[in-house]
Amino acid sequence: MISFYATHQSPSLPLPPHLALYKMSHDSLPPLSESRIVLGVGGVGVDFLAAVPSYPKPDEKIRTTSLKVEGGGNTGNALTCTARLGLNTRVISKIANDTQGRAILEVLRDDGIDTSFLVVSEEGNSPFTYIIVDNETKTRTCIFTPGYPLMKPDDLSQSSLSSALDGARIVYFDVRWPETALVVAQEAARKNIPILIDSERKREGLDDLIPLADYAVCSAKFPQAWTEAASVPSALVSMLLKLPKLKFAIVTLGEDGCIMLERSVDEIPDVEEMDVDSLLGSLKQRKNDSTAIPTSVSSPVTKLRANGIGTVCGRLLVGTAEKVPPEELLDTTGAGDSFVGAVLYAICTNMPPEKMLPFAAQVVSRGSVLK
C-alpha cells in the first residue's frame, strides 16, 4: 500500500508532496473523449510514513527524521492520479466507520473521486500501512495491516454494480478484495469494458482475475515469478501466450524505466522470427541516455520468440525514466501507482504506446522530485 494525495491540508491527513507537485498543464495533454470514466476496485487506506537516516538493524533503536500520516492504497493512489489528470473516477472498496476511515472518505471526495460505491462497515478497522522511508537509499519498506471485516461480493448489490460500471471506459484492479473483484471483472467483461490489472505480486485471486485483463502493468519481479521464465522479455511473451485477451503488458523497473510488449492484432506471415532477449539488447543500445527527459524506442511489429516458450506477433518497447539528481529526489512512495494512473489516462485518450511510456514516466517524476 502506498499513498494517494489529498488536494488540501486536513487535520487528520496533511497534504503530502508527491502528486501535489505534479503541475502538468492540461493544455499539453491529449484531448479527453466523452468516455472518460475510470472505475477502480481495490485498496484504500492510511499510511504512516516514518523517515529514518538509514534502515534500522535488528534490536536497534533509532529516531525518525519526520513522520507523516497520509491516505494510502494502490487503488486510491491510481485514481487520485487519474482524477488530477482530468478523468472522472469511481471507487469500489471497503473501510470501517473509524477515524481513519472517515479521513479516507474525506480526501477521496475532495479529489473528486465518486465514493458512492465505497462500503463503510460499522465495525472493524480500516486498512493501514506502516512505511519506513530510508533517507540514505531512498527506498521504503511497507508493513500492511488489512482492513476488517473483508469485503465480500454480498457487500455490493447488483444495482450498485450496474451503476458503478455504467459509462465506464475502463476498470482497474489492484487484486485486493479478490472475491468482489472477480464479480466486478466478470460483469465488466460481459459488458465489453476493458480491464487493467496491476500485477504487483502473486496474490490470492490473481489467477482467476488476470485472464479477464486487456492490459497489465507489472512490478519488476512479477512476470518471471508468475511464468517461471528465465528473463523478463521471455516472461512477457509467456504472459501474452497464456492470456490471449491481453493487448499489452508493461514491466516497471524504477530508475531503469520500463519494458512493454504489445500484441499485434494482425499476423505477419513472411517476417523472420526474432529472439526477444536479443531484441531487448538491441533496443537498449538504441535508447537515448544522454537526455534527462523520458523517451522510448520501439521495434517493428515482428514475430517474437522466447526459447522453450513460444512465439507471439507484436512489438517490444523500452521506455526510459526521467533522470532525477539525488539531491532533488523527494521519495518514491506512490510512484508505481502514479505510473498506473498515467497509463489509465493514456488508454482513455487513445495515446500510442511510444508516447504513453514517456508520459507515464514524466507523471511519476513530477511527483518524485522536490522542485
Q: Say which CATH number the domain at 185 has.
A: 3.40.1190.20
Grid cell of 44 as nine digits: 484504500
pLDDT of 21:
38
pLDDT of 31:
62
Whole-angstrom Cα distance, residue 53 to residue 41?
36
Of residues 241 and 72, the one with the higher pLDDT is 241
Residue 138 pLDDT more than 70?
Answer: yes
Phi-psi region of 229 (alpha: psi -120 to 50; beta: other; left: phi over 0): beta
Give the lowest-confidence range in 21-35, 107-121, 187-201, 339-353: 21-35
pLDDT of 306:
97
Give the lowest-confidence range in 84-93, 314-323, 358-367: 358-367
Which residues does 75 contact at the CB level (< 8 Å), separation at least 6? 40, 41, 42, 43, 44, 91, 93, 172, 174, 176
Phi-psi region of 370 (alpha: psi -120 to 50; beta: other; left: phi over 0): beta
pLDDT of 367:
54
Would the pTM of this model clear 0.85, i.e. be above it?
yes
pLDDT of 120:
96
Tell me the CB-side half-sphere exposure of residue 177, using CA atoms within 13 A.
33
Cα–Cα separations (whole angstroms), residue 133 to 13, 47, 78, 104, 139:
18, 12, 20, 22, 6
Cα–Cα separations (whole angstroms), residue 145 to 35, 128, 150:
36, 5, 12
pLDDT in tens, 157-183: 999 999 999 999 999 999 999 999 999
Residue 195 pLDDT more than 80?
Answer: yes
Which residues does 325 contact at the CB level (< 8 Å), separation at least 6? none
pLDDT in tens, 236-291: 999 999 999 999 999 999 889 999 999 998 777 777 899 999 999 999 999 877 77
Residue 277 backbone phi and psi in degrees, to 5: -70, -40
- Taking residues 306-329, report their average pLDDT: 83
Q: Assess if residue 141 is contained within a domain.
A: no
Whole-angstrom Cα distance, residue 45 to residue 70?
9
Q: Assess if residue 321 is contained within a domain.
A: yes
pLDDT of 85:
92
pLDDT of 334:
62
Whole-angstrom Cα distance, residue 349 to residue 29?
9
Grid cell of 180 as nine digits: 468482489
Q: Assess if residue 15 is contained within a domain.
A: no
Q: How many residues does the chain have?
A: 371
Please give the tally of structural domains in the chain. Answer: 1
Q: Assess if residue 276 is contained within a domain.
A: yes
Alpha helices in the chain (DSSP H): 74-84, 99-110, 158-165, 178-190, 206-209, 222-227, 232-242, 276-286, 335-348, 353-368
Residue 139 pLDDT more than 90?
Answer: no
Pairing of strands 168-173, 37-41: parallel
Element (H, E) at 314: strand 310-319
Sheet holding 45-52, edge to edge: 66-72, 45-52, 128-134, 139-145
Give the lowest-confidence range in 11-15, 92-96, 243-247: 11-15
Q: Assess if residue 131 is contained within a domain.
A: no
Give the lowest-confidence range in 136-145, 196-205, 213-222: 136-145
Contacts of 64-68 with C-beta under 8 Å, sequence gap 24+, read: 65/135, 68/14, 68/16
Choose among 210, 283, 302: nearest CA to 249: 210
Beta pairing partners, 329: 369
Work out the mean pLDDT of the chain and round it to a whole number: 87
Question: Which amino acid appears at position 310 of this protein?
Answer: G
Q: Assess if residue 339 is contained within a domain.
A: yes
The angle formed by the CA atoms of residues 265, 196 and 92, to the nearest 5 degrees, is 150
Work out the percent of the chain whose per-residue pLDDT is above 70.
86
Whole-angstrom Cα distance, residue 224 to residue 259?
13
Residue 163: domain span: 37-44+72-126+147-370
- Other Cβ atoms less than 10 A from the Cβ of 197: the count is 27
pLDDT of 288:
79
Give the lowest-confidence range in 22-31, 115-124, 222-231, 266-275: 22-31
What is the crossing angle of helices 99-110 and 74-84, to 10°? 20
Mapping DSSP to helix (H, G, I), strand (E, B) and coil, where does residue 47 land? strand
Whole-angstrom Cα distance, residue 153 to residue 173?
15
